[in-house]
Structure 1
Amino acid sequence: MGLSETMASPIARRRFELVTELHGRAGELLRLEPGRLRYSLGTSLAELRLPFHITPEAAALFPQSARQLALMLVSRHRELLSEGEFDHFLLVEEFSTLPALPPTLSPASGGPDTRAAADLATLTHPLLTGGVMAAWLGPGGGGRSLVALVIELLRRAFLEMRESRGREETPALVALMLSSQFPGVESALRSLELPHSLQRQLMTAAATGMYLALRLGMERVLREAQPSTELVTRIESALGPMAVLGGTKLPLTGGSLLYGCELLAGVPDAEKLVAQYPGGPPVDTVQATLGKAIAANDTLARRAELAMGLSALRESLVHAVRLGEGGGFKSALTQYLRELAIRPAALTALLADDKSRKQSSKDLRAHAETLKGTSAEALKDLATRLKEYSVKEPAAAAGLSRARAHASYAQAATAFVCDLWLERTLFPLRRMLYPRMGNEEEGGLEAEYQSGRLYQLSTRPEPILRSAVSAPVAHLFVDVKDFTRRTQLLGGAAMADFLRREFYLPILTEAKALYGGMVQLSDKGGVSVNNLLGDALSLSGTVDRLVTLAVEIRRLLVSYEKRLAQALSHEQVETALKAIEEEYDRKLQSARPGLRPILQREKESALARGRGEGLEAGVFLSFGPAPLIITLEDEVFGRSKVAIADRINESARGTARSGAARAKADAMLAQERQRRGNPSLAHPWLVFVGAPLSVQVPYAAEAEARAALKAGDLAAAMRALEQVVRDSLEEAAKQGEDAPGDIYNAGVALSEETLLAYQEAVGDNRLFCQLQVAPETLHPEIHERYFLPPEPLRLTVGFHPTGELAEVFRFAGRVMFKGLERKGGLGVWEWVDLHGVGRLFARHHASEWLRAHWRAA
């Protein structure tokens, strides 16, 4: 029998509508799409996590309101408890502050929405009277606060959804987050130590009231916002009754009438039905299946008929009581009927006693004869139902045939299956929620929330997700090369002590002088240490302070190089040099003629470093979002901090020493030394950017070439690579000389973003000039000491207000860091050491550049 032939409860009807809307579309409608979330964690859908926090005052409303409603129900139904059981609740702190409880089944106060929710409450559980529900939703009631919280949060969520132009369906996320509080409802109710004989009934009634309150708040906002059907489906699915009731146990065993009748016969094969229809159970099909299963089992059939008969009688009782409470007939009769309506055991006992049942029917008809209108009709209808009730056919009194009773029960059971399917389907979504405790990151929950990395539900009028407000900062990375070789020479312990004294402590001392006393970089500025590595150090802070620190670090590293050379004994150095000589001699003997000059230069560099002549340390500064500081607590390893930021990675990549990046400059220098007969001629720079010609050989071409070489056919191997080489040459021709390349950093380099941020930060104390200088115009003294390639120099020159040269930055080129690719590459500028070529710039050109700038201005 189809749904159209039977009547369902309002709750059941809505569950049918939701599942019908989701049928075949659950994967589309009940999912979180990373691209539509304003903030999330995880790099894939499988790893997606939504970090959120519900503030203590907001979270407390759930257990507090649940406990209060349960205590109100205990007070209302105190006659069901023994004296000792009731006295126990007098000692509960909240009991003395309960709102006044009218004894009526009908709501005694409240607006239209509150009265509608209270009226519905009387039909969902016998103990949940409309009088109690209305008082709980009224002034002083926890339900009122709960409804207000839901309304405020959903309104805020719809506002933020509009502000994101619909990109993120924030109300659906808020509904999911609120549902995370439902397990605490059951715990709060159990903490009351309700009497064992009534525990399930009281817990079910209180949890049902919680659901109705959430539903009330949700419906008010949905009425205002008028969202799409799909969004309504997502919101209501997350706040379903089974989620609030904590699963299937209470709806089946706690006297619930939520789906239209008490499910006395259970729900046959509910889990199998859910598994059978992963895309959503077809409502008519499930109802027909359950109806057949019930009819085929005599025990289930009798229980189903009894459930429908009792449900119909109770609805008649409730209708009559409401009329009596409205003044339709005497209060004594009203009280008698009300007791039957709210006491299932009393109603069952009456129906089991034929004599009492018939006498009640006769008395009700006699009362009806003294009345007129709807009151008389209601009493007559109830009298007829009592008279016609039969233990053998309990549904007949409700005007239901056995088959119709089975179908009606199957309908209620189908609503149960629909809710069970919804909860199973929502489980992956609920797992994506990531409640934060506050110990995951330095600065705690407030720091996460303020920086826009945490959804927060609060009773305060504040955004659910803030826009990121943390100011960008600079990130400095310093890296010492040849650390391993020097460790081998000095020994591990000696090198560690040397690093501590000569590398870490001096740099940290300089950093402390610039420290701003902040916990987060975004509050006062300053310098913060991110990580200390074996041969490197990472810091973050304000750009002006880190540029100052970078200059000091460079000065410290020059002194460090000299002291490190002094720390090695003559015997250690000679042993190391001999090993280097032997290593490169073996390579030179087996190398092809074309590679020998390159290996010879590598050998000379390695020998120079072994003598302590060329210890290299690079410093690179990037600029971007402040780092995320994650704290890890472990009972064995203690507390650890990890700083995460893509610009930290960029600054680390910027200290690389790619030999290919400076190969062209070294070759040109070697030629110039030979031409001039001046072996002491040097590079003026310590940072090089180059894009060496490279050929990427596909595997198929490589395999063909190797096979030809194995066969001794060199010509065939060359032919196999011919097309690859031609394609690479054509691509190189398209890119030209300005293609992004690799970096060789043995000085201080900074990204173009960092340089611009630095100019802005110190602009009040500097005058900056952008210059393009032809090398041939530089003073002869510069050319005597340094070799400058013929390309024009791009310089950014800073002057103090007094006109003195403050700093010089040279554009080194554009680089492309693997894994951190940017379109067009990253512009890199070198800070020019004022003790090197910078000193000659100051001596011979600074005043000239400043005058030219003023003339142009």
Structure 2
Amino acid sequence: MSLPAQGAVVSPIAQRRLELASQFHGRTSELLRLEPGRLRFSLGVSLAELRLPFHITPEAAALFPQGARQLAVMLLSRHRELVSTGEFDRFLLVEEYATLPPLPPTLSPGTGGPDTRATADLATLTHPLLTGGVMAAWLGPGGGGRSLVALVIELMRRAFTEMKESRGREETPALVALMLSSLLPGMEGALRTLELPASVQRQLVTATATGLYLALRLGVERAVREGQPTPELAARIESALGPMAVLGGTRPLLTGGSTLYGCELVAGVPDAEKLVAQYPGGLPVDTVRATLEQVISKDEVMARRAELAVGVSALRESLVRAVRLGEGGGFQAALTEYLRALATRPAELTTLLAEDKERKHLTKELRTYAETLKGPSAEALNDLAARLKEYSPKDPAAAAGLARAKAHASYARAATAFVCDLWLERSLFPLRRMMEARTGEEVEGGLEAEYQAGRLYLLSTKPGPLLRSAVSAPVAHLFVDVKDFTRRTQLLGGAAMADFLRREFYLPILADAKALYGGMSQLSDRGGVSVNNLLGDALSLSGTVDRLVTLAVGIRRQLVSYEKRLAQTISREQVEAGLKAIEEEYERKLQAARPGVRAIIQREKEGALARGRGEGLEAGVFVSYGPAPLVITLEDDVFGLSKVAIADRINESARGTARSGAARAKADAMLAQERQRRGHPSLAHPWLVFVGAPLSVPVPYSAEAEARAALKAGDLEGARRALEQSLRDALEDAAKQGEDAPGDIYNAGVAVSEETLLAYQETLGDQRFFRQLEVDPRTLHPDIHQRYFFPPEPMKLTLGFHPTGELAEVFRFAGRVMFKGLERKGGMGVWELVDEHGVGRLFARHHASEWLRTR
């Protein structure tokens, strides 16, 4: 009798794994398609640092170990004859045992919809212990598999919806598959807690993991059928939840009795890791299959084992087919039960094949009985009898109707599917590392705050988006920085200065902040004031814009009185010693300086001496506006609990307290000329915040090296020529940018960003009404001109008035700045909150009513 080549037909699972590997051959980048620009939210500034924070709720995560444990107990109960009574009785007390659904003994599914029945039918061909009856019950009502499938379908449904809402920019279903796969390594541990009998532990664990994979596969198939993604996206989803990920590596597939790829891989898969490493750009499937076939054929021991695997696989498939017909009433129940035992107990099938007499006896009985039957039942029993007859220990592949070479090819194809899965897993490893599971302890506020802020993907059994749109309201960020802290510390002494700072700087500011506090900690209701960081001479806070602008005014008042008290605290002897040290330091600098630089050093010396005498202590306050800070908690067994607030606007507010001398150089030069012209040395600037863009000449290293070499040789003209092109380029750039080019900042007062000013106006609503004016300095009252010098350009002012008509605040446009590392196109507008102790008081006295009436 000529047998059909049963073993040559690869399993549908193996066929799909071969297709996936072929699809990404030469296109590995398509498998690893995870770009920051395509993600709705991610952490990290480069692809190498990319992280996607996610959390799977305990209720959703528990479905995986619960389902796996339940299926393991169901399989043990179905195959209780494989263990002793004492070993089995212990499981009568296991929680899962009391809630098991009814377990039909059949290989056929018996019940369930088309998808469930198809999956249960497939299960019988993937592992001898995984029967269709048990699989259908596990996927049916009351079974853990049903819950798993429902979870996958629901999460994928949400993922497809959110992908559509992002117009396909983010492939959310593939991300969900990767996130779910993070739960799979824990399945082995969950099964280990059952303490399965050692005699069947390996086979039961492999059968259970295979069932888990089939359930996930079913969920993905149904979700893909509904979502109708592109073939590439469907492939990425399937790849993330592949057999090797679910079964926990290569060992169960090789030693746990699995027939997932068509036959048990008892001969092993030679050089699997080497083949994966050999083709980093993707597996050429046909080449790998040919390589494996050649290796197997050349090794006699491996070849025999491969032939045995193919032959036994063909016999088992024939057994399964016959049993399904018998369970459907095709022939006697006793024969059905006997054949079912052979199909589900590999040891009994092996014993039968080893006993030539028993095998021939069964063959004869099957043929005799088949003569009494008709149709498919007779055909199935005759086919099984023919395969048993053709089988022999010397030529086991004959049972599959294959010559030895064809059997090697059939085994090589199953082994190639194994290599394909191994390659997919190795290729997906970088993506799995990018998925960052969160516990809630990483940031202050926990998981809920992160989720509400749109910074966490949440996989839950409850309805709701996987990733929320950011609903975090912007807040203001205040930074105050005291300059000359180091020099004052040297004069007063470290301990005394620290105590003085605590009493006169930190505590008063914190007292003002507490008076304005109106919300929950961490700004969860966006209504409070929160301290971010306390530094040696600086302080950072976040809160609502109205409170922080009010606080900035209060801080300015504190700093004015702080300066006076600090000057009184330092003794005359300390001041004189400090002044002498300053004189000596700058005298050395003046002696070593070139003539053109001495004037600059002299001005620095005068400023340092003034500050050393207690004059002109400077402290800058800057208020920015933007996203609320992310507060990270770090716990260490030595250093304890630390908290760090992170926000780009906090950095911006810190940069806004800078004192760039170049930013006020032009204003200082104009003031010096005016003092001399008027003979009025006490004439002062009206402003405490300056923005300027001094002309700078960037010099390439090559030109610098050439100029230095010329100077060393005494060739001044050669040095000038070396720098000539750099100077020309700088002048051309300056001509293009004009006077309005963004510059640096010198902040010795209170400044706010343009966003802060706009948010402040919007927040106050009916508590203020505002006027925007351009004021010609020449129209100011003579009393103001007597004290202050104003450049000739018109002043852009934003005036805030109380409903009763009194002037509340004056904001002056200082210019546009460009902070290094926080560059914005066109720079950032900066407004000075005009000091109420200086020119602001005079504005209120002489011009408030006039400006109020101006339209």
What's the TM-score, normalizing by structure 1?
A: 0.98
Cα distance between partner residues in 2 of 1:332 and 1:306: 28
In the other structure, the counterpart of 2:735 is 733
Displacement of 1:281 after TM fit? 2.4
Q: Which amino acid aligns with 1:440?
A: E
Cα distance between partner residues in 1 of 2:372 and 2:88: 40
In the other structure, the counterpart of 1:143 is 145
Does structure 2 conserve the Cα–Cα contact (< 8 Å) formed by 1:125 and 1:258?
A: yes
In the other structure, the counterpart of 2:518 is 516
Displacement of 1:773 after TM fit? 0.5
In the other structure, the counterpart of 1:320 is 322
Does structure 2 conserve the Cα–Cα contact (< 8 Å) formed by 1:522 and 1:626?
A: no
Of residues 358, 365, 368, the one that matches 1:366 is: 368
In the other structure, the counterpart of 2:52 is 50
In the other structure, the counterpart of 2:198 is 196
In the other structure, the counterpart of 1:336 is 338
Cα distance between partner residues in 1 of 2:700 and 2:394: 84
Q: Which amino acid aligns with 1:95?
A: Y
Q: Which amino acid aligns with 1:434?
A: E
Cα distance between partner residues in 2 of 1:360 and 1:821: 84
- Structure 1 residue matching 2:614: 3-state secondary structure: coil
Cα distance between partner residues in 2 of 1:231 and 1:624: 36
Cα distance between partner residues in 1 of 2:464 and 2:729: 58
In the other structure, the counterpart of 1:692 is 694
Per-residue Cα deviation, 1:806-846 (whole angstroms, up to 9, x for no partner): 11111111111111111111111111122211111111111
Cα distance between partner residues in 1 of 2:311 and 2:176: 40
Cα distance between partner residues in 2 of 1:407 and 1:675: 102
In the other structure, the counterpart of 1:281 is 283
- Structure 2 residue matching 1:322: 3-state secondary structure: helix
In the other structure, the counterpart of 1:637 is 639
- Structure 2 residue matching 1:679: 3-state secondary structure: coil
Cα distance between partner residues in 1 of 2:615 and 2:341: 100
Per-residue Cα deviation, 1:183-217 (whole angstroms, up to 9, x for no partner): 11111111111111100110010000000000000
Q: Which amino acid aligns with 2:312?
A: L
Q: Which amino acid aligns with 2:30?
A: E
Q: Which amino acid aligns with 1:643?
A: A
Given the alignment of the two structures, is residue 112 of structure 1 paired with residue 107 of structure 2, yes or no?
no
Q: Which amino acid aligns with 2:547?
A: R
In the other structure, the counterpart of 2:487 is 485
Per-residue Cα deviation, 1:440-462 (whole angstroms, up to 9, x for no partner): 10011111111111111111111
> How many residues of Structure 1 are paired with residues of Structure 2 in the alignment?
851
Displacement of 1:296 after TM fit? 1.8
Cα distance between partner residues in 1 of 2:32 and 2:732: 50
Per-residue Cα deviation, 1:352-410 (whole angstroms, up to 9, x for no partner): 22222222122212221221111111111112222232122122122111111111111
Q: Which amino acid aligns with 2:673?
A: Q
* Aligned pairs for 1:37-186 within 5 A: 37-186=39-188
Cα distance between partner residues in 1 of 2:30 and 2:292: 28
Of residues 505, 508, 511, the one that matches 2:507 is: 505
In the other structure, the counterpart of 1:707 is 709
Per-residue Cα deviation, 1:76-132 (whole angstroms, up to 9, x for no partner): 111111011101111111111100101111001100000000000000011100000
- Structure 2 residue matching 1:520: 3-state secondary structure: helix
Cα distance between partner residues in 2 of 1:322 and 1:315: 11
Q: Which amino acid aligns with 1:72?
A: M
- Structure 2 residue matching 1:329: 3-state secondary structure: coil
Does structure 2 conserve the Cα–Cα contact (< 8 Å) formed by 1:633 and 1:640?
A: yes
Q: CA RMSD in A?
A: 1.4
* Greater shift in the superposed pair: 709-718 or 441-450: 709-718
Cα distance between partner residues in 2 of 1:410 and 1:694: 71
In the other structure, the counterpart of 1:721 is 723
Cα distance between partner residues in 1 of 2:300 and 2:806: 103
Displacement of 1:284 after TM fit? 2.0
Cα distance between partner residues in 2 of 1:507 and 1:797: 26
In the other structure, the counterpart of 1:837 is 839
Q: Which amino acid aligns with 2:392?
A: S
What's the TM-score, normalizing by structure 2?
A: 0.98
Cα distance between partner residues in 2 of 1:691 and 1:388: 94
Displacement of 1:524 after TM fit? 3.8
Cα distance between partner residues in 2 of 1:682 and 1:185: 75
Gaps of 5+ in 1: none
In the other structure, the counterpart of 1:217 is 219
Q: Which amino acid aligns with 1:32?
A: L
Given the alignment of the two structures, is residue 595 of structure 1 paired with residue 613 of structure 2, yes or no?
no
- Structure 2 residue matching 1:540: 3-state secondary structure: strand
Does structure 1 conserve the Cα–Cα contact (< 8 Å) formed by 2:11 and 2:261?
A: yes
Q: Which amino acid aligns with 1:157?
A: A
Displacement of 1:4 after TM fit? 13
* Aligned pairs for 1:429-508 within 5 A: 429-508=431-510
Q: Which amino acid aligns with 2:468?
A: R
In the other structure, the counterpart of 2:748 is 746
* Aligned pairs for 1:205-354 within 5 A: 205-354=207-356
Does structure 2 conserve the Cα–Cα contact (< 8 Å) formed by 1:618 and 1:655?
A: yes
Cα distance between partner residues in 1 of 2:406 and 2:275: 22
In the other structure, the counterpart of 2:664 is 662
Per-residue Cα deviation, 1:28-55 (whole angstroms, up to 9, x for no partner): 3224212211111122222221211111
Displacement of 1:592 after TM fit? 3.7
Cα distance between partner residues in 2 of 1:629 and 1:572: 42
Cα distance between partner residues in 1 of 2:297 and 2:709: 77
Of residues 652, 655, 662, the one that matches 1:653 is: 655
Cα distance between partner residues in 1 of 2:355 and 2:725: 100
- Structure 1 residue matching 2:258: 3-state secondary structure: coil
Cα distance between partner residues in 2 of 1:509 and 1:571: 33
Identity of aligned residues (%): 82
Does structure 2 conserve the Cα–Cα contact (< 8 Å) formed by 1:516 and 1:524?
A: no
- Structure 1 residue matching 2:516: 3-state secondary structure: coil
Gaps of 5+ in 2: none
Cα distance between partner residues in 1 of 2:499 and 2:51: 43
Structure 1 stretches of at least 4 aligned residues deviating more than 4 Å after TM superposition: none
Displacement of 1:314 after TM fit? 0.8
Q: Which amino acid aligns with 1:533?
A: L
Per-residue Cα deviation, 1:165-195 (whole angstroms, up to 9, x for no partner): 1111111111111111111111111111111
Displacement of 1:587 after TM fit? 3.0
* Aligned pairs for 1:381-460 within 5 A: 381-460=383-462
- Structure 1 residue matching 2:47: 3-state secondary structure: coil
Does structure 2 conserve the Cα–Cα contact (< 8 Å) formed by 1:309 and 1:398?
A: yes
In the other structure, the counterpart of 2:607 is 605
- Structure 1 residue matching 2:611: 3-state secondary structure: helix
- Structure 2 residue matching 1:819: 3-state secondary structure: coil
- Structure 1 residue matching 2:815: 3-state secondary structure: strand
Does structure 1 conserve the Cα–Cα contact (< 8 Å) formed by 2:6 and 2:400?
A: no
Displacement of 1:522 after TM fit? 4.3
Cα distance between partner residues in 2 of 1:269 and 1:598: 74
Per-residue Cα deviation, 1:332-355 (whole angstroms, up to 9, x for no partner): 221111111111111111222222
Q: Which amino acid aligns with 2:190?
A: A
Displacement of 1:589 after TM fit? 3.7
Q: Which amino acid aligns with 1:368?
A: A
- Structure 2 residue matching 1:467: 3-state secondary structure: coil
Cα distance between partner residues in 2 of 1:628 and 1:405: 61
Does structure 1 conserve the Cα–Cα contact (< 8 Å) formed by 2:526 and 2:544?
A: no
- Structure 1 residue matching 2:458: 3-state secondary structure: strand
In the other structure, the counterpart of 1:765 is 767
Displacement of 1:134 after TM fit? 0.2
In the other structure, the counterpart of 1:25 is 27
Does structure 1 conserve the Cα–Cα contact (< 8 Å) formed by 2:310 and 2:411?
A: yes
Does structure 1 conserve the Cα–Cα contact (< 8 Å) formed by 2:526 and 2:543?
A: no
Cα distance between partner residues in 2 of 1:630 and 1:206: 40
Cα distance between partner residues in 2 of 1:388 and 1:805: 106
Cα distance between partner residues in 2 of 1:355 and 1:680: 122
Given the alignment of the two structures, is residue 680 of structure 1 paired with residue 682 of structure 2, yes or no?
yes
Displacement of 1:293 after TM fit? 1.8
Q: Which amino acid aligns with 1:725?
A: L
